[in-house]
Amino acid sequence: MKALLALEDGRTFPCRSFTGPGETGGEVVFNTSMSGYQEILTDPSYSGQMVTMTYPLIGNYGVNPEDVESDRIHVSAFLTREYQPYPSNFRSTSTLADYLKAQKVIGIEDLDTRALTRHIRNGGALRACITTQDLDPASAVAKARQVPSMKGQDLASIVSTTVPYQWVDNRPHPIDMDTRAMDAGIWQHKGDRLRVVAFDYGIKYNIVRSLAQRGTEVIVVPAETKAEQVRAMDPDGVFLSNGPGDPEPVDYAVATIRDLIGFKPIFGICLGHQLLGLALGGKTYKLKFGHRGGNQPVKNMSSGKVEITSQNHGFAVDMRSLAGEEISITHVNLNDNTLEGFQHNSLPLLAVQYHPEASPGPHDASYLFDEFVEMMREHG
């Protein structure tokens, strides 16, 4: 089925839909991963975005119920060069097309993804419209210009869980708030395991899994949970998750984090990194086209080693805004020298901009979860 991708700057790309008719808008971005498309589709950090895969052949290993990173697809559209309709993998239970259709997400092929990616790299991430219903370029461009800008949007409150949940048997179990109170009695393994309260700004399942694999008990709470509720739960540590959108409008989270600084060890990832930076007095800004993919080089400033990391973010913390005696820069991106990690020199706080839990991506940075666990033990 013929389709048209229109960008807000007036450029259009002819293409085809492999999921049937549809029309949607969002910020168009690109991801350089060669695999892991199901994890990318279900990553809440992609809410409001159309994801372009730079690897040309997508769909060749199908999908399965085990590789999801949340309870649903979050991308507004999925853009590929060539869709493979006949998957071959022993784990596959469905085709990518059927998976997208079931959740009413449009999938695109026969798109010049190389030209689109080069255009985004030169001009920056752009608002876009993808349509099979209105193939008039001028009309589609006008629709692209009506898409809300990513800057200024609080999307964390939209994708966050509405009820707290525990991670049991490798899946989320909602807590019955009619029979359970948000206090120290909520933990199942009282005194036997380190207790982590994880704020859900768009959390990926493999983050919770990575914490649980290290012997911690994790309770995931909604993004708007107050500091006094966390204090009443008496955890050993606080985790700040990844998530979509601009960190600055998420002011309620910044206020809560600021109130929790010094209470217990805090570890932030991605949006959590940005929110912690804001809580410490830093500033954030929108990157030209962001970092998205499983092959992003980051230098560990203490060891001098280069880590290949999984990343997905369009905003960053201004490194200069955190300059001072209290904060140490721990990681720097080797592509553009932007801030990728920091820690506090006297308080148990650390944060990284990338994804040490991967899924998809390499595991070079998984040691950071071990550092967080050790931090909780030291300050218990």
For the record, the structure tokens of 317 come out as 């913390």
> Which of 119, 331, 344, 355 is the catalytic position?
355
355 is catalytic: yes
3-state secondary structure (DSSP) of residue 22: coil
15 is catalytic: no
DSSP 305-334: -EEEEEEEEEEEE-GGGG-SSSEEEEEEET
CA 335 vs CA 218, 249, 299, 308, 346: distances in Å: 34, 28, 10, 12, 30
What span, in angstroms and rounded, lies between the C-alpha atoms of 126 and 123? 8
For the record, the structure tokens of 105 come out as 């997400």
What span, in angstroms and rounded, lies between the C-alpha atoms of 252 and 261? 15
**Beta strands, E only, the chain:** 2-7, 12-17, 23-31, 49-53, 57-58, 77-79, 82-83, 106-109, 126-131, 165-168, 171-174, 194-200, 216-222, 237-240, 266-269, 284-300, 306-317, 327-333, 339-344, 349-352
96-104 contacts, C-beta under 8 A, 24 or more apart: 96/37, 96/38, 96/58, 96/59, 96/62, 96/63, 97/18, 97/19, 97/59, 99/38, 99/41, 99/63, 99/73, 100/19, 100/41, 100/73, 101/19, 101/20, 103/72, 103/73, 104/22
> Which of 8, 27, 248, 357 is the catalytic position?
357
Residue 304 exposed, middle or buried by CB count within 10 Å (0-12, 13-18, 19+): exposed
291 is catalytic: no
> Which of 270, 273, 313, 340 is the catalytic position?
270
CA 90 vs CA 9, 84, 98, 296: distances in Å: 43, 16, 17, 29
Contact 4, 16 (CB under 8 A): no
**Distance from the Cα of residue 172 to its chain's centroid:** 18
Task: Give the residue numbers annotated as catalytic, written as ranges.
Answer: 270, 355, 357
